[in-house]
Amino acid sequence: MARAIAPENNIGSSRMVTLRNIAIFAVAFLIVVMLTAFFKWPPMTSSDWAAWVQAIGAIGAIGVAIYVSWAQAKNDRARADERDHAERLRLLEGPMGIIGAAVRAISKAPSPSADEAEVEGIVSNESWWSEFMRAQTALINIPLHTIPWWGISECILEMLTHVDKCRNAMQKLNHEFAQRHNTVPVVWRESLSVLDACVLEALVTWKKANTEADQVVKRHRV
């Protein structure tokens, strides 16, 4: 089960602002009270002055205590933000790497302008098929329930759709290309157009996934 990720940072920021405003108001209020009392009952003797110095010291101690509390809360929030940032990056690293691997594999499919030699080199390339199947398997095995952002999960599902479409088109191309010298002509280039559409769709999803990931990482720093 995925760790809880704070979707926004606004609540913590609001608390920090509230605490700071309370501190400013409290110190300002005490200063006004002290000044009012000083002019209404000015110190006349040494004992009066000693009392005033003691009162001023007490107010200063209160102000320092308020500041220390505020600074501690601010530091705690900063550390929590860093932990949240690291956790978001950790959860994004695997899915984004797999999506990127799928895009790279799909992008190696032959284009509509490829000649027979290029197509033959790709459809017979066991290394490419292996890379493609690894990317597809990795996409299927991503545990979507551990990803707390629907935008990223949606991109994974979209990329899996593109991979399936590309695999079907490649299998069709492989079969048709193998039959190209038969007496009955086979229009194998139609599959190249389907593959080209797969590549374009995959690139759009890859761009969308990167945008979603950027928003996920930046969101808690607003």
- What CATH number has the domain bearing residue 148? 1.20.5
Q: Are residues 34 and 77 in the same domain?
A: yes
Determine the pLDDT at residue 11. 46
> Do 92 and 177 have their domain in common?
yes
| Whether residues 97 and 24 fall in one domain | no
* 139 and 105 together in one domain: yes
In this structure, are 63 and 123 located in the same domain? no
Same domain, residue pair 158 and 183: yes
pTM: 0.68
For residues 122 and 92, give the distance between their C-alpha atoms in angstroms, rounded to a whole number: 31
Query: Residues 42-98: pLDDT tens digits?
Result: 777 888 778 777 877 887 787 788 778 878 888 888 888 888 888 888 889 999 999
Decide if 174 contacts 188 (C-beta within 8 A). Answer: no
Residues 132, 191 within the same domain: yes
Amino acid present at 116: E
Cα four-point dihedral sign 153, 159, 160, 162: positive
Q: What is the mean pLDDT of the chain?
A: 82
The domain boundary, picked from 51, 81, 111, lies at: 81
**Is 5 part of any domain?**
no
Range of the domain at 77: 10-81
Q: What share of the chain is helix, strand, coil (3-state, %, to 5)?
A: 80, 0, 20
- For residue 18, the model assigns a pLDDT of 67
Question: Is position 173 within any domain?
Answer: yes
Task: Give me the residues of the chain with pLDDT under 70, please.
Answer: 1-20, 23, 183-186, 219-222
Q: What is the pLDDT of residue 222?
A: 44
pLDDT of residue 16: 56
